Structure 1
């Protein structure tokens, strides 16, 4: 599997194009905007988009999902149904953050902890990781040791929890109980900024390293 990071929106959110190399079929994660950049990457790689995957309902991660799904004729999978709270507010979010108008939508499939999603011959495990938002999910390829973590974890930081229905204790629990057991060698793509590994964050992250009290 190949993963291409496409920073989009004024927030430079890391949309990812995940490609099954065996079939040249792909999934797009968190298309928050700048759809022309995403479509250009799809065309440059000569892949067939099979579905759109969403980690959570904040506008910089999902504002372009409905439009892109309609253009490619593909389903939207994720996030967890507790994220309806945020997706229903997309029109309000767009006004608040100065984004182009965005419509609320219903994903074709809400995801639960323990689910899997597939594209081509690739399978990603789904982990419900609330805290930043109530219905946030993380996608993990155990085969390729890669995780798409949205705004749960960053290189040197963690997701903010001061938005409505955010919960700091839940976020710390999600990271330590859901992500760390997957292995230090997992490379993760955060919602913003550079990639890192779970092991590096366990050693050095000032919020969730092994030396920091819960």
Structure 2
């Protein structure tokens, strides 16, 4: 460490407020100091803004939680789609056969606690083993070879067809493929329900302009 770096470190050590500001930028690095980590999390500007919004009844804690779960739901779907789920498919097929609608009402016990536990373990292992593949927020940003850019460039057209009544994957895929000769990913209907019109998503509009 050169003299300039030592001087800057010394300035931080004697200026506690500045030191806390620097540390708060990466609280995950403070796992070995849980009390300090918790203090910084509670004192961050975003945490203060969150508590103020609760007091002002901008939203409820339950609504905030539901927004988190909605995002995790999509992340979980994206992660699981990249895994080999034949064991799960075979289990469900043995239960419902060709009755696709019955899948929606299967219980944890019917799917199997061991199967669900295995799935969660696989997802966790994938996150740890492939951190670089978990950075995409939207399907067209995927780096796992599943982005399907030919379709996502026309996602606005697929959304319009969805609004016209083609609101199941089977209907939308058939109509869109007939018109544009491009299949619709199974995740698209879910995407529409979660995010709506892609034209209202800045990440999509900028990606389309650049691609």
Q: Place the TM-score, normalised by the shorter chain, in its bin.
A: under 0.3
Structure showing greater relative contact order (alpha-carbon pairs closer than 8 Å, 6 or more residues apart): 1
Asked which structure has the greater CA Rg, the reply is: 2
TM-score, normalisation: structure 1: 0.27
Q: When you count helix as a share of all residues, which structure comes out higher? A: 2
